[in-house]
Amino acid sequence: MKIVLISGESILLINEEINKIIKDNKNVTSFDMFENTIEDVLLEAGYFSMFEEEKFIIVRNATFFGSGKLNEKETESLLKYLENPNSLSSIIFICNEKIDARKKITKIVKEKYEIINIPNLKYYEIENRVENFFKKREYTIDKDTVKYIVANSLNNYDLVMGEAEKIILYYDNPCYVSRKDVENIVSKSINTNNFLFVDAIIDGDLEKSLSLLSDLKTMKVEPTILISLIARDIRIMLNIKKMLEQNKREYEIMSTLNLLDWQLEKYLNKAFPYKIKELEEWLVKLTNIDLKIKSGKLDKYYALELLILDICT
Which contacts qualify for 261-270: CB closer than 8 Å, 24 or more apart?
A: 264/240, 267/233, 267/236, 267/237, 267/240, 268/240, 270/199, 270/202, 270/233, 270/237
Give residue 226's pLDDT band: very low, low, confident or very high (50, 70, 90).
confident
Residues ≥6 apart with Cβ < 8 Å to 193: 212, 215, 216, 219, 221
C-beta of residue 193 within 8 angstroms of C-beta of residue 229: no
- Which of the 8 DSSP states describes residue 3? E
First to last CA, the chain: 53
* CATH C-level class of 3-117: alpha beta
Task: For residue 127, give Cα distances in angstroms to 65, 120, 280, 306.
Answer: 32, 13, 31, 37
Query: Which value, in Å, is the radius of gyration of the alpha carbons in the chain?
Result: 22
Half-sphere exposure of 151 (CA within 13 A, CB side): 12
* pLDDT beyond 90 at 92: yes
SS3 (DSSP) at 211? helix
CA distance 159 to 259: 18
- Which of the 8 DSSP states describes residue 33? T
CA distance 128 to 135: 10
234 residue type, one letter: I
Q: Is this prediction's pTM over 0.85?
A: no
Other beta carbons within 10 Å of 198:
21
Phi-psi region of 205 (alpha: psi -120 to 50; beta: other; left: phi over 0): beta
Q: What is the mean pLDDT of residues 200-229?
A: 81
Give pLDDT tens digits for 176-211: 999 999 988 876 555 667 788 888 888 888 888 888
* pLDDT beyond 90 at 76: yes
The most confident of 44-58, 76-90, 160-174, 186-200, by mean pLDDT: 76-90
- What are the residue ranges spanned by the domains of the chain? 3-117, 123-186, 189-312
CA distance 281 to 250: 25
Q: Which fold has domain 123-186?
A: Helicase, Ruva Protein; domain 3 (1.10.8)
CA distance 145 to 130: 10
Give residue 103's pLDDT band: very low, low, confident or very high (50, 70, 90).
very high
- Closest to 9 (Cα-Cα) out of 95, 69, 92: 95
Give pLDDT tens digits for 237-253: 999 999 998 988 888 88
Architecture of the domain defined by 189-312: Up-down Bundle (1.20)
**Which burial class, exposed, middle or buried, applies to 242 when counting CB atoms under 10 A from its CB (0-12, 13-18, 19+)?**
middle
